[in-house]
Amino acid sequence: MSVKENRGKGALVIVCAALICQLSAMTANPILSRGKTVYTSSGNSTILTDDKFGPSWNAGNNSWLAINVGTGHSKVFVNWNVPYTNWFDSVWNEPGTGSPVKTCGGANDKGPVAYTFQTSSNSTNGSDGTWTTALTITGNKVSSRGHVIPFTDASWVKMNITVGGVALDEFEVFDMSNNGTDIWFFPGTSISQMTYKSTPPTLNFADVVHTANPTFNPVMIRAGIGCILSVYVSTLVSFYLDMSRGAKYWAIEMGTNDAYNNGVSGLAAFKTNMQIIIDSCKAAGVQPIIARLLSTDSSKTKWQVNYAYETTIDSMTKANKLIPGPDLYTYFLNHPEEHNPDGIHPNPTGAASIQRLWAQKMDSLYKTTSVKKGGAEPLVSGSARSFSLSAIKGRIGIQALCAGVLRLFTTNGALFKTLKIPAAGSYSLPMPTGLCIARFSSKIGSEETSLVALH
């Protein structure tokens, strides 16, 4: 007999058979479209399903594309992307904000303006068969977007672009039958625009996650905008949330334009704006995660990001009980060769590193722990190369192979236990309950993470 529990918003997922449980902080949404033939109004291709961002298919007005992803899926998440562009352009004015959004983009930074999604169970080539309209979009202003659509009894999904010819580089379809939570939105500045759209690496965030955790295939919605300040995101946060609907995590890169030229005059406003973004995300059931700002190559820029911005991000992460983001400041301080010649933006190697650092920092969300229930003693399960945990008379027993600091977090990123370990040996902490993430930082600078089940 099997028991399955699935809690939303990236929380605890338990799958049990008899007395053995598999626990994870993330619910997978497997990709269905990878490598499949795409039928289009201008011929068939696999360019839209090859996981290579950049090379694209040119879609004009009244064009279409369709994929057979098979049966047995009650709903799917469809994700499309226009390469190279900003997420939205510099001339758009959100009603009620009073002025246009000031970006480094132009009027061509946009996606299809009007389109529909249809499903079919009997098409053979994307053109024939009976089709049911599942979703209609008009007035679209962004260049990367995803949608959940019903899919019961269907096998084909079709996108009809009626207005707004664009170039699409990837069209992804994910199985959402189990209410997958592995959906990521990447809002940011021109740094994010270059990282995810202009110079996408061979291995992106989703690829790195999948390589380390083959069960998972993250959805990536790319939303970098050149020259944007935190005030624009906070002012338009409802628009951001609407356009990224379905995303459970926001991987935020923001603040370099606020911090430009080593100043701190914008720091207070930055903190206020970021708090609005955090609060808005949480109210919408989204987990915001904020990366530390990239350091510059000061030999080229003649200025460095004021470190007060980094400590502000750290304090806001702690105060709001967020999952900590990657430390891009320290990494680029130690790898200035991964900057562009301007000393601010990442070059292609730097773009690959940013996506890898995000994936590595989020790795603990994807780990699955096996737990066998039995006996009166609560069971603790968790181990890594440099530490292991076990239950000892109502306490967590810790076996450390070197000195360091052990921290226990909730799966939502809240820190609730810390233990400084002065040397290799055995230690213990009071026993909490539930599922947590153990992170052990050794004195030599390495960090290991393990998912821990506490019953």
Looking at residue 292, the DSSP 8-state letter turns out to be B
Residue 145, both tokens: 């977007």
* Residue 334: its H or E element: helix 328-334
pTM strictly above 0.95: no
- CB-facing half-sphere around the CA of 387: CA atoms within 13 A: 33
Which of 407, 419, 404, 412 minimizes the C-alpha distance to 435? Answer: 412
φ/ψ region of 72 (left if φ > 0, alpha if ψ in -120 to 50, else beta) reads: left
| Angle at 100 (CA atoms; ends 94, 102), nearest 5 degrees | 125
Per-residue pLDDT at 397: 79
Query: Which residue segments constitute the domains of the chain, with CATH numbers given?
Result: 28-89+110-178 (2.60.120.260), 181-366 (3.40.50.1110), 370-454 (2.60.40.3080)
- pLDDT of 3 reads 33
Task: At 361, list the tokens.
Answer: 């920092």
Per-residue pLDDT of the chain (455 residues; tens, 9 = 90+): 233 334 334 343 434 333 333 445 688 999 999 999 999 999 998 999 999 988 889 888 999 999 999 999 999 999 999 999 999 876 555 545 556 666 777 777 789 999 999 999 999 999 999 999 999 999 998 999 999 999 999 999 999 999 988 899 999 999 999 999 999 999 999 999 999 999 889 999 999 999 999 999 999 999 999 989 999 999 899 999 999 999 999 999 999 999 998 889 999 999 999 999 999 999 999 999 999 999 999 999 999 999 999 999 999 999 998 889 999 999 999 999 999 999 999 999 999 999 999 999 998 888 754 444 444 444 445 555 677 777 666 677 788 888 888 877 765 556 667 888 888 888 887 766 555 677 777 665 556 666 565 54
